[in-house]
Amino acid sequence: MIKAGIIGGSGYTGGELIRILLNHPEVTIDFVYSTTRAGKKITTAHPDLLGVTDIAFTGDVNLNVDVVFLCLGHGNSTTFLNANDFSANTKIIDLSNDFRLDADAILNGKKFVYGLPETNKPAIKKANYIANPGCFATAIQLGLLPLAKAGLLNNEIHINAVTGSTGAGVSPSATSHFSWRNNNVSWYKPFTHQHLGEIGESLASYNNEVGELFFLPNRGNFTRGILATAYTKFEGSIEDAIALYKDFYKDALFTHISEQEINLKQVVNTNHCHIHLHKFNDRLLITSAIDNLLKGASGQAVQNMNLMFGFEENIGLNLKAGVF
């Protein structure tokens, strides 16, 4: 058994980590740190865990745990690590965007490896520090990387993706308030979303000649999940595209190619990504779907932890979708 710590356990990603790790056969939760809820039971923030755990939030940090997950707001992980010097034996998995880009990947001698298992598994297995990918970035990269590797992303790529309200975090805001969000859809950060940087670097790691990305993110009137569609020029047949994607993901435990049209309910509450391909004239339409809190955050973080410690990659992550 390894001991895990969670920094920032009262939010959505922290809550999902607690739920997964409580049922992980190789992990015990050593502490869940919170500055605002120290001393209070976990169930005050996550009432669905009533009867499952009696753990309380703490204001103390054990710097010698085997692994620590940082579930902090963007920019706060750097500050926290500068103030808390974990043991050299402690593996760190950061769920913010602080260390995802190559230019930001080193802090105090710690080199963070980009944690997308479908493309970076050998490096993840050897890593002590992981930068967990963003939710939009995960859905979009998994949809486009097979084309990038094949050198088939030379033209413009147009991306439209919609995310649930949990993508905005647990703190209320004008655009996450129920009365505004319900029965409503809107776009935000058109063509400038912060995940474009990591998407671009991942695609370029396979092929530097990638066309311009035009990404339009949308707020959906649902709680969780991301459905992303992208299209670009593709000269081959749909059979060629399907064969290309199936070969690329032949060893991926959590990414699957569907020959039927896909929808969000297939993946919500799971760590899976489903991808569907459709050809129209000279355009290939790629649809990908993930749960933004699981494959887009906490589930992928545990997947990375499993690889880092030599566990089976899917242990603790055999979660069931609610399709009805």
User: What positions carry a catalytic annotation?
Assistant: 135
Q: CA-CA distance, 8 to 14, in Å (whole number)?
A: 6
Name residue 180's amino acid.
W
- Rounded Cα distance, 59 and 45, in Å: 15
DSSP state of 78: H
Q: Which residues contact 76 (CB under 8 A, 6 or more apart)?
A: 8, 96, 98
The token duo for 191 is: 């063509």
Instruction: Tell me the C-alpha distance between 324 and 322, whole Å.
Output: 6
For 1-51, the three-class secondary structure string (H helix, E strand, C coil) is CEEEEEECCCCHHHHHHHHHHHCCCCEEEEEEECCCCCCCEHHHCCHHHCC
Amino acid at 116: L
Cβ pair 199, 134 in contact under 8 A: no
Q: Are 272 and 290 in contact (CB under 8 A)?
A: yes
Helices of type H across the chain: 12-22, 76-83, 117-126, 135-149, 178-181, 196-206, 238-248, 298-309
Q: How many residues does the chain have?
A: 324
